Amino acid sequence: MTSSDRVAPGRRRRIAVASLTGLAVLAGAGLLAVEAWFQGRFETPLRLHREALAANVDAYCAEEAMLGADPWFHEGRTEGDAGLLLNAWLPWSRDLKRPPPEGSPLVLPESLREEALDLKQGRWLTAKVDVSRLDFDWMVRLLAYDRWDLFNGSPLSAEGRFNWAAGEVPDLFLLQRWAKFRMLHGLRTGHPVEAAQQVRHLAWLSLRTDSLVGGSLAVNLLDIERLAHDAMPSPPEDWTPMPAEQTARMNALLQAAPQFAGLAAPPDVARKARGCATEANRCIALTETAFHARLLESFAAPSLDEATAALDRDLADAGCPTLAAHEVRTRSVTLEDPASGMSSLASSMAWIPWTPGQWARSRIARGVLASTLGDLTPPHGNGTKHPAPLHGQAGLPTP
């Protein structure tokens, strides 16, 4: 054996060590670059969002108090769940193109259906349509209830996972169409107050689905009532619809509540926002936050542990009248479920062990959370305080 043969193993070891060191340096540099990109792309918006929420939570609570003082929130209502009726009467689908089930009182004549008659943007008030033969008794039946649980006798009641954000939903636009016909009928028959009572109550039931989409429908129904009132030269003195200022405030707070009470908010801000909101907005915010907590459950970053624990405590104490928030928290999809649309990404990270795997999964969770941030809706009538531009919209298009 020559001296060069004896030196070769040592040289090979040094070369191997140098190569591994070089690879480690390159990997470290790559991770640093990825982390820098992540910080700029996701963490900076999250930080600015938290700062904006903290700066505006007092204004948010003041707006909630002004909304909660409206007489509509304090009208007498009979306790009961309309879910078994409405969930059976309405068609459920992803594309909202199914007709109502056979035998449903919500089936409209072909001449009054959406594809045959455009009633948007207030055109319903002057539409030359015959509503005299429509049966509105189903609205009268609903006066016996004060909530609408979407999980009572519906496709959502079935066991197993469901996608709260993109699964089957009831066709709420159909209820909006019926409300327009009900107000037209009341105006033409000289009984607008009776019609308004039924539409206002349908709006309440929609709000008390404890869902964001139900709350948005409630705003539209209240706007429909007010438009009918304003169309009369001399409306009855005992008929007082919710003012436009209040429905605009209601809509703005519906969009803002899930942000102030969400996982991205500082825990003390979320706690304060949930505590000061109207019961309906609190339950809606809990439902929407429960969806995000469930979605990120297996990927949640340690930084979200406190927010998730606080959410679960508030869910237990909230006393919401429907099962929405609880069912979403326990049965909605996670990132790993195919129905989430992100299971491939989740699976690609699941094999990474130990600290690198935790880092990758936490970054996915934070990225998903950042992608859900909406513009912070300005408190009604006040300028939003924020360290960076955050703009929102405060109303829905006129029905």
Q: Where are the domains of the chain?
A: 50-66+257-399, 72-241
In this structure, the number of other CB atoms found within 10 A of the CB of residue 80 comes to 12
Q: Higher confidence at residue 351 or residue 211? A: 211
Minimum mean pLDDT among 75-79, 150-154, 181-185, 340-344: which range? 340-344
What residue ranges in the chain does DSSP mark as E strands?
Answer: 92-93, 169-170
Mean pLDDT, the chain, integer: 82
Inter-residue contact 56 to 123 (CB < 8 Å): no
Q: What is the pLDDT of residues 164-177, one digit of tens each?
A: 988 888 999 999 99
Select from 147, 153, 206 the least CA-distant residue to 175: 206
| DSSP-derived secondary structure for 210-252 | -SHHHHHHHHHHHHHHHHHHHTSSS--TT--PPPHHHHHHHHH
Beta bridge partners of 93: 169
Tell me what pLDDT residue 263 has. Answer: 86
pLDDT tier at 322, thresholds 50, 70, 90: very high
Say whether pLDDT at 300 is over 90: no
Q: What's the Rg (C-alpha) of the chain? A: 27
Inter-residue contact 154 to 87 (CB < 8 Å): yes
Taking phi first (over 0 means left), then psi (-120 to 50 degrees means alpha), and beta for anything else, what does residue 200 get? alpha
Q: What is the pLDDT of residues 47-69, one digit of tens each?
A: 888 898 999 999 999 999 999 99
Q: Higher confidence at residue 82 or residue 344? A: 82
The whole-angstrom separation of Cα 338 and Cα 350 is 14
The whole-angstrom separation of Cα 91 and Cα 107 is 10
